[in-house]
Structure 1
């Protein structure tokens, strides 16, 4: 089963025209119109290539046509081995914008039964130490501001019990307040487990939405994980209008286990984008866990461009 914590093999790619932006305004079948948005990518999609050659990988991403970047942790430390302003300059020199950064909500600890991705040596990989919101929220907020980011996002946090949920909400509160003072919006990214009921029948997602400020804590809905959990993204948007300014554009096959290229699975992207105005969408980032090569990154871009055209 593919997981978000998968790793990619680097590969070359053919230059793709940068004119393939999704023009969403008045697009047939997309319902409510909003201003045209360029396609973004979550760099966890290219975790291994970014560790091996961040500048070269970013050049390939720009050549495909991606214009927005959301970063994640790196085994190089910092922001792929760079300071915030340095990484921002590299991204912008390639004609892209760095919009958002993912950080863990707490020190990484594998969930029970979780299988770690295998490295090139065939052994389970280990994550390098990295900043997390529980211990380093102020530093992360300050660095996001230094980079001029729009969003600082909690990528994952413990939510298996009500105690863990309450603890995570406390972390969100501190991180969100620090982010606001720094001029950055805080947000939370979901997996499928947030929709599993805990004590009292409530789901972690319901509790987080109800017990955090809609202004301080926005949500980054991952469309594939919501679909895997049997949830309708549009229904979620309508229940909490304006709270979903950023999305993960991820697809999943009919087995609801295998993450695949955008357009090659069962996620109804046109339906989701029809509710973009209700959701308050501003930016969206393609993500494919454990993608085999950079070719898959291009396939997702091409398919999403057609979906939105």
Structure 2
């Protein structure tokens, strides 16, 4: 066995440590996304682009640094720019999304289309490769009574139970109806109490901070009840949407709490320039 001097050993060992540190650093950078989750975006802000060129729009999103998308149903959102996608089968859509280098596990559906043909919509979602089906709002009145909230929750829980039986997570976003109050209580909080967590998970809209809804607070208040979130930067000074990492939100706090909340994925959702400007910050944010 060839022997080496102590000086040579130390020198070579130093080289190995340096190389090891470089590799570890590169590995950390590759997975520096918050919680190790892919950076994804909602397609609603680019709906007009999708109406004109779906494959081209996806390639633009991938080039901007996004790794996945959340869709809006071509049936429930036909009048919002997604109707043209009905010419594709679910499997064809999956292929187009994959060809762009993206993934898609989630989509928003209208409550009405689930009422009319939930089985068919679940089948379509599975063909695309989705595991999560979201509804933006239960659409109750602007000034609901407790009975209104209970009726809405009862109906949606049944929808959630059928989805769960099919192996799909049914989720509920928070806007409009969910941001109302009943007898001094937030409708959103009432829904957490009324909906069975085995049937319905929640998706948090971070921009509801404008109405006093704090993401980190809700993630910690209802651990394990969330499946995803829509991400927007917010400036309390100008009361306006800004790129993630700018403005006044504490993103380390939000993402740390999101882990407790149960978040499995998140979707940046703002005008395209703001979404693009958010990617570099998210790439370097470690939680």
Coarse TM-score class (shorter-chain normalised): 0.7 to 0.9
Alpha-carbon offset, residue 192 of structure 1: 6.2
Q: Higher Cα Rg: structure 1 or 2? A: 2
Q: Identify the match of residue 249 of structure 1 among 218, 224, 231.
A: 231
Partner residue in 2 for 1:168: 152
Corresponding residue of 1:301: 279
Decide whether the 8 Å contact of 1:141 with 1:178 is kept in 2.
no
CA deviation vs aligned residue, 1:152-188 (integer Å, no higher than 9, x gap): 0011221331344334323312321221122111000
Q: Structure 1 residues 264, 78: CA separation in 2 closer, same or farther (over 3 Å shift)? A: same
Which residue of the other structure, out of 188, 197, 210, is the alignment partner of 2:193?
210
Q: Are 1:179 and 2:175 matched, yes or no? A: no
In 2, Cα distance between equivalents of 1:211 and 1:196: 16
1:136 and 2:136 correspond: no
- Matched positions, count: 251
Output the TM-score relative to the length of structure 2. Answer: 0.78
> Aligned with 1:245: secondary structure?
strand
Question: Is the helix fraction higher in 1 or 2?
Answer: 2
Give the match for residue 46 of structure 1: 46
Deviation at 1:277, TM superposition (A): 2.2
- Asked if structure 2 preserves the Cα contact closer than 8 Å seen for 1:157 and 1:168, the reply is yes
Q: Deviations over 1:182-235 (max 9, x none)?
A: 21110001126523312x22221012111111121000111111x112233222
Q: Please, which runs of 5 or more residues in structure 1 have no aligned partner?
A: 1-18, 26-33, 107-131
Deviation for aligned residue 1:84: 1.5
Alpha carbons of structure 1 residues 256 and 246: separation in structure 2 relative to 1, 3 Å: farther
Aligned to 1:23: 32
- Across the aligned residues of Structure 1 and Structure 2, the Cα RMSD in angstroms comes to 2.5
Residue 99 in 1 paired to residue 82 in 2?
Answer: no
How far does residue 255 in structure 1 lie from its aligned partner after superposition? 5.9
C-alpha change, 1:21 and 1:248, in structure 2 (3 Å) is farther
Report if aligned partners of 2:139, 2:177 keep a CA contact under 8 Å in 1: no
CA contact (8 A) 1:173 1:212 kept: yes
Per the alignment, do residues 217 and 38 of structure 1 end up closer, same or farther by CA in structure 2, a change over 3 Å counting?
A: same
Note closer, same or farther for the CA distance 1:22–1:46 as it changes in structure 2 (3 Å cut): farther
Kept in 1, the 8 Å contact 2:236–2:248? The answer is yes
Return the alpha-carbon distance in structure 2 between the equivalents of residues 298 and 77 of structure 1: 25
Instruction: State TM-score, norm by structure 1.
Output: 0.73
Comparing 84-93 with 230-239, greater Cα deviation is found at 230-239
Task: List alignment gaps of at least 5 residues for structure 2.
Answer: 1-27
